[in-house]
Amino acid sequence: MDYTHLGRSGLRVSRICLGTDNFGTQTTEDDAHLILDAALDHGINMVDTSDAYGWRFGEGYTEQIIGRWLSKGGGRRERTVLATKLYGEMADWPNNGRLSALHIRRACDASLRRLQTDYIDIYQMHHVDRDTPVEEIWSAMDVLRAQGKIVYVGSSNHAGWHVARLQEEARRRHHPGLVSEQSIYSLLDRTIELEVLPACAEYGVGVLAWAPLSAGLLGGVLEKERRNQLGTPLKGERIAPHRQARLAKLERHRPAIEEYEKLCRDLGADPAHVALSWVLGRPGVDGAIVGPRTLDQLTGALGGLSLHLDADTLTRLDEIFPGPGPAPEAYAW
């Protein structure tokens, strides 16, 4: 396993990070624990979760699963860089969501109880709260750091100017600021190249790419479709909204994905490995978050670490999936 410093910090994390959003929904607790143990065995030292994962309103179910795994001991907590998030509504009552100082305090204490630990390594804002001043957010985070409940602060799904605003306020407070920003990033989702990546590079903020396979669309989806492994819906069958969105995205990008899978066949490489290797090779990206449903998916993802993409392949990938280019040149002279 390769390790790198997260942003400008001294914290070293594995280039592959274990995402847990399937734990408790598509992955049973027993299987989740097997995946967590296997991740450590493979050298993956960062586990990423959220109080919203598990999708049981207000329960933080995935955090509970991870907490029961950590409670087994055996050095699990000491070997894990534990990252969780807050933002989503956790109860049907005011001040039980978003990023007010009150909710930050309550949410952290609740996550600590569920995770069965006394500190969180990276406490992340899962989304932007446009109604809460950044001064209030940093004030609350400072209290948690002083209490020893969190070590680092991260963000997720923030625009470049949000990162800049948070970092400038942190600088004013003589605070180290964000250690990382978690953004969607893949060959199919390159918007962060406009301003998020440059902002993070300027401020020394690490970047963690989530959905590097674009929800499986870059993992050989058309070959699986040909093999009838996608569970094609029956005529008249209702499809879940998230699956509808995925199918619509597949149709929008089908010609490009066809070219992509042909390129992968010519390379003799697994499409998932190509997509992961591309993300890990992007400037400013410290790690990629993979969210396996099964143990086989975890071990399969590790192949992306050893695949090297040459210059000709990278040029061809840019032709198939052109990025937006840097701002402001991408939309101005």
d(CA 132, CA 101): 9
d(CA 179, CA 286): 11
Distances (CA, A) of 151 to 83, 122, 140, 294, 332: 10, 6, 13, 30, 41
Distances (CA, A) of 329 to 162, 188, 194: 20, 21, 9
SS3 150: strand
Amino acid at 119: Y
Of 158, 179, 184, nearest to 279 (Cα)?
Answer: 184
Catalytic residue among 3, 53, 123, 260: 53
Any idea what the Cα angle at residue 208 is, between residues 19 and 87, rounded to 5°?
70
The answer to whether 53 is a known catalytic residue is yes
Query: Hey, which residues does 123 pair with through a beta bridge?
Result: 84, 153
DSSP label of 233:
P
Of 148, 146, 196, 206, nearest to 175 (Cα)?
Answer: 146
Query: What positions carry a catalytic annotation?
Result: 53
